[in-house]
Chains A and B, each alone.
Chain A
Amino acid sequence: MEIFLQQLVNGLTLGSLYALIAVGYTVVYGIVQLINFAHGEVFMIGAFGALATYLLLFQGQTALWILPIMIIGAMIASVGTAVLMERVAYRPLRNAPRLAPLITAIGISVFLQEFVRLFFDKVPGTDFPSAKAKIPFPQIDVVTGRAFHPMEGVTIQRAAIFTVAMLLLSAVGLWWFVNKTKLGRGMQAVSQDPDTARLMGINVDRIIVVAFAVGAALAAIAGVAQGLQITNVNFKMGFIAGLKAFTAAVLGGIGNIQGAVVGGLVLGLAEAFITQYTGMLPDPFGQFGGSSWKDVWAFALLIVILVFRPQGLLGAKVVDRA
Chain B
Amino acid sequence: MNLPTLPDTLREQHSGKGWPLALVGSLLLLVSGLLSWSFDPSILGDISIAFWPASLQLFAMILGAVGVLLALMHRGPLHRLGDWFDTALGLRALGTGSLLFVVFSLVAIASEAGGLVNVNPGGWLALAGALLLTVGARFVPQRQLNSFAKAKANPVLEIVVIVLGMAAILFGAAYVLGRDDPWIFVGFLVMAAVAFMALARAGFFTWMSHVAQRHRHVLTLAAFVVAFLFPFTQDGSDANMSIATQVLIFAATAIGLNIVVGLAGLLDLGYIAFLGSGAYVGAMMSNAASATIGWKPPFIVVMLIGACVAATLGLIIGSPTLRVSGDYLAIVTLAFGEIFRLSMFNLDGNNGPDLTNGPNGIPGIPDLNLFGFDFGKPHTVFGIQLGRFSNYYFILLLLIGFIILVFTRLNNSRIGRGWVAIREDERAAEAMGVNTFGLKLLGFAVGAFLAGLAGTIKAHQDTAASPDQYIFLESAFLLAAVVLGGMGTVAGVLIGATILKLLPEKLRFFSEYRLLLFGLLLVIMMRVRPEGLIASKRRQLEFHEDDEELAQEVQADHLIDAAPEAAR
Show the binding face of A for B, using Cβ within 8 Å: 35, 89, 92-93, 96-104, 106-115, 118, 239, 243, 246, 250, 284, 287-288, 290, 292-293, 295-296, 299-300, 302-303, 306-308, 310, 321-322
Q: Which of A110, A112, A296, A310 has the most CB of B within 10 A?
A: A110
**Bound form: Cα–Cα A300–B352 in Å:** 17
User: Which residues of chain A have C-beta atoms less than 8 A from B523's C-beta?
Assistant: 89, 104, 107-108, 111
Are A295 and B351 also in contact (CB < 8 A) when A100-B530, A102-B267 are?
A: no
A306 B324 Cβ-Cβ under 8 A: yes
A100 B338 Cβ-Cβ under 8 A: no
B369 within 8 A of A: no
A110 B522 Cβ-Cβ under 8 A: yes
A296 B339 Cβ-Cβ under 8 A: yes
A–B pairs, 27, beta carbons within 8 Å: A93-B526, A96-B543, A97-B543, A103-B479, A104-B522, A104-B527, A107-B521, A108-B523, A110-B515, A110-B516, A111-B520, A111-B523, A113-B519, A114-B516, A284-B352, A287-B353, A292-B342, A293-B346, A293-B351, A293-B352, A299-B339, A299-B342, A302-B332, A303-B332, A310-B323, A322-B327, A322-B328
**Bound form: Cα–Cα A97–B535 in Å:** 15
User: Which residues of chain A have C-beta atoms less than 8 A from B342's C-beta?
Assistant: 292-293, 295-296, 299
**Bound form: Cα–Cα A308–B319 in Å:** 12
User: Which residues of chain B have C-beta atoms less than 8 A from A246's C-beta?
Assistant: 331
* Chain B, Cβ-Cβ closest to A112: B519
B325 within 8 A of A: yes
B235 within 8 A of A: no
| Partner among B323, B345, B526 whose Cβ is within 8 Å of the Cβ of A104 | B526
**Bound form: Cα–Cα A98–B530 in Å:** 11
User: Which residues of chain B have C-beta atoms less than 8 A from A243's C-beta?
Assistant: 331, 334-335, 338
B343 A109 Cβ-Cβ under 8 A: no
* Chain A, Cβ-Cβ closest to B524: A107
B88 within 8 A of A: no
B327 A35 Cβ-Cβ under 8 A: yes
**Bound form: Cα–Cα A295–B337 in Å:** 12
Show the binding face of B for A, using Cβ within 8 Å: 265, 267, 269, 320, 323-328, 330-332, 334-336, 338-339, 342-343, 345-346, 350-353, 472-473, 476, 479-480, 483, 512-513, 515-516, 518-523, 526-527, 530, 542-543
Instruction: Give the shortest distance, in Å, between A317 (CB) and chain B (any CB).
Output: 15
Instruction: Give the shortest distance, in Å, between A226 (CB) and chain B (any CB).
Output: 20
**Bound form: Cα–Cα A246–B336 in Å:** 15
Are A106 and B522 also in contact (CB < 8 A) when A118-B512, A307-B332 are?
A: yes
Instruction: Give the shortest distance, in Å, between A38 (CB) and chain B (any CB).
Output: 10
Instruction: Give the shortest distance, in Å, between A296 (CB) and chain B (any CB).
Output: 5
B472 A299 Cβ-Cβ under 8 A: no
Instruction: Give the shortest distance, in Å, between A271 (CB) and chain B (any CB).
Output: 14
SS of B interface (majority) = helix
A99 B267 Cβ-Cβ under 8 A: yes
**Bound form: Cα–Cα A292–B476 in Å:** 24
Instruction: Give the shortest distance, in Å, between B503 (CB) and chain A (any CB).
Output: 16
User: Which residues of chain B have C-beta atoms less than 8 A from A110's C-beta?
Assistant: 473, 476, 515-516, 518-519, 522
A115 B516 Cβ-Cβ under 8 A: yes
| Partner among B324, B327, B350, B480 whose Cβ is within 8 Å of the Cβ of A102 | B327
| Further pairs besides A302-B332, A303-B335, A321-B326: 12, Cβ < 8 Å | A35-B327, A102-B267, A103-B479, A107-B526, A110-B518, A250-B328, A295-B342, A299-B335, A306-B328, A310-B323, A310-B324, A322-B324
| Partner among B331, B351, B543 whose Cβ is within 8 Å of the Cβ of A302 | B331
Instruction: Give the shortest distance, in Å, between A233 (CB) and chain B (any CB).
Output: 19
**Bound form: Cα–Cα A97–B332 in Å:** 20
B352 A287 Cβ-Cβ under 8 A: yes
What 8 A-B pairs come out closest when comparing CB atoms? A107-B522, A111-B519, A110-B519, A322-B328, A114-B516, A299-B335, A107-B523, A104-B526
Are A306 and B331 also in contact (CB < 8 A) when A103-B526, A293-B342 are?
A: yes
B346 A299 Cβ-Cβ under 8 A: no
* Chain A, Cβ-Cβ closest to B261: A99
User: Which residues of chain B have C-beta atoms less than 8 A from A303's C-beta?
Assistant: 320, 332, 335-336
User: Which residues of chain B have C-beta atoms less than 8 A from A115's C-beta?
Assistant: 516
Instruction: Give the shortest distance, in Å, between A305 (CB) and chain B (any CB).
Output: 10
User: Which residues of chain A have C-beta atoms less than 8 A from B345's C-beta?
Assistant: 292
User: Which residues of chain B have C-beta atoms less than 8 A from A302's C-beta?
Assistant: 331-332, 335
User: Which residues of chain B have C-beta atoms less than 8 A from A293's C-beta?
Assistant: 342, 346, 351-352
Instruction: Give the shortest distance, in Å, between B568 (CB) and chain A (any CB).
Output: 36
A118 B516 Cβ-Cβ under 8 A: yes
B351 A287 Cβ-Cβ under 8 A: yes
A103 B483 Cβ-Cβ under 8 A: yes
Are A100 and B526 also in contact (CB < 8 A) when A106-B479, A302-B331, A306-B331 are?
A: yes
Instruction: Give the shortest distance, in Å, between B516 (CB) and chain A (any CB).
Output: 4
* Chain A, Cβ-Cβ closest to B265: A99
Instruction: Give the shortest distance, in Å, between B266 (CB) and chain A (any CB).
Output: 10
